[in-house]
Each structure stands twice: as structure tokens, then as C-alpha cells.
Chain A
Amino acid sequence: MTTITTTALAAGLWACPDCRTLCRAGVGAGATVRCPRCGAPTRARKADSLSRTWALLIAAAILYVPANLLPVMQTSSLLGSSRDTIISGVVYFWTSGSRGLAVLIFTVSVAVPLVKLASLAVLAHSAGRGTADPHRLGQLYRAVELAGRWSMLDVFVIALMVGMVRFRSLAVIEAGPGAAAFGAVVILSMLAAASFDPRLLWDAGGETPHDQ
């Protein structure tokens, strides 16, 4: 097999973000070329990758506070009304004996968003420096991209409960203001992950002797 030990960028080629065709690089900083195969604007690296990642990440971190403090669901029934936050929902499952469900909801609604925000911060922080281990950080990036979407679970559960429990006088469930904040956290962190360019992790380090 022919061995190539260079990156596309070093060879003067840019990969199209959509169809991955290698295009001859444009000239000048911030230049954009049009991919001849699919027409997508192609740059050396994703546009303003780190500043966009940081901006979306900070917005998600700010909304994480109301998402956890405000009620996501309000239940009114003949027996009175109650307001549930994400954590109190987890506690309810745990105390009512559904421990498996409690662990599931806690994982996707509390642990995954927190770990995702922290991981993206580590990735965006190290990308500009090139000191860290790009192998491990690359794996972290892939895990973050895979897991993020499952945080939407609680939003869907709330939506379904609201739609189904409508017994006018007996019991009604409504979505609380926390639900919108929580959905926004998930969407913003997905956008932050998509804005991050994992190639930046490798760019600073130059060629590493890992090649087989």
C-alpha cells in the first residue's frame, strides 16, 4: 500500500464538509472555495470553530441553571397540585421503586449534559494549544456527539405526559418553564459540538509517530 504520512491541509487540499471531496486550497486567511462536486462552501477548517463553540457552550451553561431550578412539569389533580423539577422527577422514580428508570433519567438528564458541557470546554481549551493527547480527546469528542441527543428524553416524556393526561376536572399535567430551558440546553450543546472542528486537536501537534 502506498504510504502517505501527511495531512490534507499540509498537501494544499481542503476536504469538502458535505461530500468530503478534496478540493485545491484557496488563497489567503479565511478563504472559501466552492466544492466542485456538491457546491458546498469549503474552508480549511470549520469557520470560527473555537469562538462559536465557546459562545454556544457558555449559553448552554447559563441555561443549565434555570433548566434545573425551574419546574419542568406541573400536575394538578383533585388531590392537589405539584411542581416537578428534573431532580424531583428522578427522586420520585427512585422512591416509588422504579430505580432503573431513576438511574436512566438521571444519566440522560443530569449526568450527560454536565459531562458534555465539561468535555466540550476541555476540547475547546486544548484545541488551541496542542499539548494534550489528541487520540484520547478525539474519542471524547465522538462520545460527546453520540450521547448528547439522548438528553432530549425528558423533554419528550414531558410532552407526551402533557398530551395524554387531560382529564379536565380529575387531573391535568402542564409543562413548566424549565422544560423550554432544558430543551435549549440540549440544542445549544448539540450546536456547540457541531461547531467544534476535531481536526484542530491534531493541527497544533504536528505529525505524531503513531502511524502504522
Chain B
Amino acid sequence: MTAPPAGVAVIDGLTACPECDRMHVRLPVRPGEKAACVRCGTVLYQAPRWRPDEVLAVVVAALIAFALANAFPILELRVQGIASTATLLGSVVTLWREGRELVAATVFATTWLAPLFDLLAMAALLLAALRGRRPAFFAPLLRLLQAVRPWGMIEVLMLGVLVSLAKLSHLAQVVPGVALWAFIALTVLLAAVLSYDVRGLWRLAGDVGGAL
């Protein structure tokens, strides 16, 4: 009898702490519960509070908020009868035209591209998981989602909108736009989506060819 080849997962009932590598037996957890490492306290895995179809509903709501947040101006400024409005993408374009391409690209990637990708990827993955299937795109997309997720910074942008509002209120009359409310909704909905631990999807959707 020969040992299984390198790389083949041996025991699925075990898990290792991502921060200290200590091994644990995988015990079942109830919805909303977390399993923590006995040595360093890091969360090992958690049972989602919501079902995948419930998360999908929040994802769709967040996509609507995203569309509204980008279609309308965030604020309108009025100085001596002259009004000026700006959208998020408008600000990015202005920065780019002024020769601040690096700043423009950073803002675009972290506040537009990454959150939108996160929501679209979540929708595709949750739909696949709900059908109990694992299409060819599943593993690459979930891996990409895990890599992109830390770079989405909508909640930081939200705080930035509030700070610029405070800054501008010294200089001009500030009228909140539709997008301001949409951004607040998007921040809350996205926080709910991000609280869903996507690592659970690896188990939900089964494995390649039942190799385990």
C-alpha cells in the first residue's frame, strides 16, 4: 500500500488555524456561532447567520444601491448662485485629466471596481451554490473574490464623503444629493454581504469530481 500523492486532501474533518497552524477537529456550529482556535483565539470558521438565498437578496439590493449611488450626484455645492455637482466617477475622471492618474486609478479600483466585482461575483457564486452545482468558473471566481475583497473600501469612502461634507460646509452651501443616501444604504448592505463568510461556499458547493 502506498501513501496518497502529495496535495491530496487527507482528512476533511480537521482544520488548521490560519494564524498559528494549530490543528483542530472540525466540530459542527449552529448558525451565528464561531469556532475559535484554542491556542491563539483566531476564528477558524463560522456558521452563517443567513441562508444563501437570503444573502442573494441582500446582494441584489446592494447592486441597486450601487447603481443609484453612481447615477446621481453625491452633493451639490452652491456659491453665489453658481452650482457645482459631482459623482464619484466624475471625480475620478477629473483627477485623471489633471494628471493624477495614480490617485484616480486607486480611487476607481477601491471604491468602484472592487465593490461591484464583489457583488457580481457573490451573485454568481450564490446562484451556483443554490442549485447545488459547481460550474467550471466556481473555484477560480471564488479564489479571485477572496483576493479582491480586502481592496473594496466603500465604508472608508462613506466616511470620506462625510468628512468632505463637513469640510465644504465651511466654504459653500451644501445640498445633499440622491447618491449620498444611496451610499449610506450601500455601505450598510455591503457590510451585511461582507459579514457572510465566503469560505463556507467551498463546502456548500461540493468538490471537484467528489475527490474527497
Contact = CB atoms under 8 A, between A and B. Distances in A.
A, B in one complex: yes
B166 A153 contact: no
Contact of B21 (A19, A42, A180, A202): A202
Interface in A57-116: 96, 98, 101, 104-105
Is chain B's interface secondary structure helix, strand, loop, or mixed overall?
mixed
B6 A24 contact: yes
Interface in A6-36: 6-9, 11, 13, 15, 18-27, 31, 33-36
Interface residues of B, number: 78
A160 B8 contact: no
A159 B16 contact: no
A205 to B, nearest CB: 10
Interface in B59-109: 74-75, 77, 79-80, 82, 84-88, 90-92, 94-95, 98, 100, 102-104, 106-107
Contact of A6 (B23, B84, B100): B23
Quick one: which of B103, B159, B211 has the most chain A CB within 10 A? B103
B171 to A, nearest CB: 7
Contact of B19 (A21, A96, A198, A212): A198
A50 interface: no
Contacts of B4: 24
Interface in A96-155: 96, 98, 101, 104-105, 134-135, 138, 141-142, 149-150, 152-153, 155
A15 B14 CA distance: 10
Contacts of A141: 19
Contact of A138 (B20, B74, B172): B20
23 contacts: A7-B16, A7-B20, A7-B22, A15-B18, A15-B21, A18-B143, A19-B199, A22-B9, A22-B10, A22-B15, A24-B7, A36-B208, A156-B153, A159-B91, A159-B92, A160-B161, A161-B168, A163-B95, A164-B75, A180-B103, A198-B20, A202-B19, A202-B39
